[in-house]
């Protein structure tokens, strides 16, 4: 395209549906956040946000595809902490999280919850710890693959208890939750955006939340930290990215649409019900996301490498 038609394309953006790539299965936590924001942004942008679930390898398949994606302003990507943990978990990663993307905004923070299948023998966290320690080799821990927050949380739990479980990877925690509900796996650490309805329905056993403080939506639910796993903390944060080279005017408009969605009462209500917290305005910037990502890489990298957990 010539310079004139390029700037015309940017000034009129969006003129067709926009793809938002989700790196995990439909119906799961990341997908719920993407579709909730997408529905609101569809209204404000006047074009449909189409969610594309691109699965595999704990989110790294999607990240690699977006890094190589068309920077025409019609591909965006939502990912969580996995963007920061993948470089330590994978010996070979085809992309650099800090260099190979455009950085649009953060969005919401989500707590995690520790669950077991409904008929699991332990009835509280003290019993759970004793049972897991005594039976570690028999325990099946579900997760969404290396790079998933369910995997990160499970890794920290095993480290804290000094045990090793059998990890059973799925392509998202939506199928992992189905396996837990079906009794095919024993435990799962997963985000409130998916687990609150199951906890309320009593279809799983619930032992605590992974935040340092109790959460507003379930004030009676104890933290793992207060129950003895000192300083145990996993908070899931989200970033929205685009392929490197996506024009700045489009990134700015997308940033505006995200900010508008996070103020939409329907979005606020749904996020609040699911335990997700809308981040402060200071995190809703390109620079804010990039420097946060850098700090998260610095935080998790050494701890993960020390755990000796790698994929080739």
Q: How far is the CB of 166 from ligand MLT (least distance, A)?
A: 17
Q: Which is nearer to ligand MLT, 57 or 149 (CB)?
A: 149
The tokens describing 38, both together, are: 């997408």
- Asked if residue 70 lies in contact with residue 62, where contact means CB atoms within 8 angstroms, the answer is no
Cα gap 147→184, rounded to integer Å: 22
Mask of contacts with ligand MLT, 12-51, x by CB under 6 A? ------------xx--xxxx--------------------
Q: What are phi and psi of 58, to 5 degrees?
A: 60, 30
| Crossing angle of helices 82-89 and 149-161, rounded to 10° | 60
Q: How far is the CB of 190 from ligand MLT (least distance, A)?
A: 6
- Asked if residue 231 lies in contact with residue 84, where contact means CB atoms within 8 angstroms, the answer is no
> Which range of residues in 147-155, 203-211, 258-266, 302-310 is near ligand MLT by CB under 6 A?
147-155
| Crossing angle of helices 173-181 and 192-201, rounded to 10° | 20
Q: How far is the CB of 108 from ligand MLT (least distance, A)?
A: 12
Alpha helix positions (H), 73-191: 82-89, 125-135, 149-161, 173-181
Binding to ligand MLT in span 54-83, by CB under 6 A: 80, 82
Q: Which is nearer to ligand MLT, 172 or 288 (CB)?
A: 172
Q: How far is the CB of 34 from ligand MLT (least distance, A)?
A: 9
Beta strand 75-79 pairing with 18-22: parallel
Cα gap 31→29, rounded to integer Å: 5
Contacts of 178 (CB under 8 A, 6+ apart): none
Q: Which is nearer to ligand MLT, 174 or 218 (CB)?
A: 174
Q: Does residue 86 touch ligand MLT according to CB under 6 A? A: no
Mask of contacts with ligand MLT, 157-196, x by CB under 6 A? ---------------xxx----------------------
Q: How many positions of this chain bind ligand MLT (CB under 6 A)?
A: 15
β-pair partners for 79: 239
Q: How far is the CB of 24 from ligand MLT (least distance, A)?
A: 3
Binding site for ligand MLT (CB under 6 A): 24-25, 28-31, 80, 82, 144, 148-150, 172-174
């Amino acid at each position: 395209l010539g310079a004139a038609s390029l700037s015309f394309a940017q000034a009129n953006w969006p003129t067709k549906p926009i793809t938002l790539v989700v790196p995990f299965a439909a119906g799961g936590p990341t997908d719920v956040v993407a579709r909730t924001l997408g529905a609101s942004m569809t209204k404000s942008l006047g074009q449909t946000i189409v969610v594309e679930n691109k699965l595999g390898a704990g989110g790294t398949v999607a990240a690699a595809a977006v890094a190589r994606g068309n920077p025409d302003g019609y591909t965006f990507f939502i990912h969580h902490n996995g963007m920061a943990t993948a470089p330590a978990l994978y010996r070979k990663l085809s992309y650099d999280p800090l260099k190979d993307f455009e950085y649009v905004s953060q969005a919401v923070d989500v707590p995690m919850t520790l669950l077991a299948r409904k008929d699991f023998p332990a009835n509280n966290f003290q019993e759970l710890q004793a049972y897991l320690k005594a039976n570690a080799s028999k325990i099946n821990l579900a997760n969404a693959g290396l790079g998933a927050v369910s995997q990160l949380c499970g890794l920290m739990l095993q480290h804290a208890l000094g045990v090793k479980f059998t990890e059973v990877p799925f392509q998202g925690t939506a199928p992992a939750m189905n396996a837990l509900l079906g009794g095919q796996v024993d435990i799962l650490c997963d985000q409130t955006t998916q687990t609150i309805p199951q906890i309320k329905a009593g279809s799983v056993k619930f032992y605590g939340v992974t935040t340092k403080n109790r959460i507003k939506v379930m004030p009676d639910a104890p933290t793992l930290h207060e129950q003895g796993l000192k300083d145990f903390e996993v908070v899931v944060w989200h970033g929205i990215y685009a392929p490197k080279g996506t024009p700045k005017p489009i990134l700015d408009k997308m940033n505006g649409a995200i900010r508008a969605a996070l103020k939409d009462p329907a979005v606020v209500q749904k996020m609040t019900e699911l335990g997700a917290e809308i981040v402060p305005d200071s995190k809703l910037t390109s620079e804010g996301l990039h420097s946060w990502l850098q700090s998260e890489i610095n935080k998790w990298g050494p701890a993960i490498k020390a755990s000796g957990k790698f994929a080739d």
